[in-house]
């Protein structure tokens, strides 16, 4: 019994020393990590201060017209970067022959540079449009489609019309 207790004490002492070693090693690594985080926070604070100075300079009344012009030009460049030819070519690749593209509104670009297409499509029945929506979602170029409304055929318009929005993955 004493021998077994002695062996257990030796094993437990060994495990305790391994645990102490791991704790000390982990503290050392955590110290390095804290130092890196502090350095990165200091760099971030420096960059934020520089950004604040630049924003203050841009917001001055003398520079307001330059800022407005810059924003206008940036918006125009963003809109110009969307290729209508590529949009139509990519839509042609997923659109069934029985679905007609009636209207495509000016694409909207959000802050993450994602292009949102808002379009009106028409077909003789709802089935081809459902096929079109499935093909849009299966395509790597388009995201999930949202149908906003549908209009049944009338005397003046023989097609079922649907207004659809979809994210388009065109590289800007």
Q: Residue 102 sits in a domain of what CATH number?
A: 3.30.1360.100
pLDDT tens across 108-128, in order? 877 676 788 899 999 999 899
* Residue 78, domain member (yes or no): no
The whole-model pTM stands at 0.56
Kindly state whether residues 162 and 90 are assigned to the same domain.
Answer: yes
Residue 169 in contact with residue 143, Cβ under 8 Å? yes
* Residue 77, domain member (yes or no): no
Residue, of 7 and 76, whose pLDDT is higher: 7
pLDDT tens across 22-69, in order? 999 998 889 888 999 999 999 999 999 999 998 888 778 888 788 888
Kindly state whether residues 148 and 88 are assigned to the same domain.
Answer: yes
Question: Within a 10 A sphere around the Cβ of 52, how many other Cβ atoms?
Answer: 10
Kindly state whether residues 53 and 120 are assigned to the same domain.
Answer: no
Total domain count for the chain?
Answer: 2
Interatomic CA distance for residues 143 and 58, integer angstroms: 37
Which domain, by its residues, includes 124?
83-168
* Residue 155, domain member (yes or no): yes
* Residue 70, domain member (yes or no): no
pLDDT tens across 70-112, in order? 888 887 777 777 788 888 888 898 999 999 999 988 788 776 7
């Amino acid at each position: 019994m004493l021998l077994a207790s002695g062996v257990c004490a030796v094993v437990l002492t060994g495990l305790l020393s391994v645990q102490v070693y791991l704790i000390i090693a982990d503290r050392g690594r955590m110290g390095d990590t804290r130092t890196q985080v502090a350095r990165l926070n200091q760099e971030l604070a420096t960059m934020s201060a520089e950004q604040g100075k630049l924003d203050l300079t841009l917001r001055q009344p003398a520079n307001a017209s330059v800022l407005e012009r810059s924003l206008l030009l940036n918006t125009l460049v963003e809109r110009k970067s969307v290729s209508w030819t590529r949009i139509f070519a990519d839509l042609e690749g997923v659109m069934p022959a029985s679905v007609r593209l009636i209207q495509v509104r000016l694409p909207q670009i959000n802050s993450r540079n994602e292009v949102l297409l808002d379009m009106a499509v028409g077909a003789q029945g709802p089935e081809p449009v459902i096929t079109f929506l499935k093909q849009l979602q299966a395509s790597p170029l388009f995201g999930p489609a949202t149908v906003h409304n549908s209009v049944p055929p009338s005397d003046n318009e023989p097609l079922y019309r649907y207004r659809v929005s979809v994210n388009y993955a065109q590289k800007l």
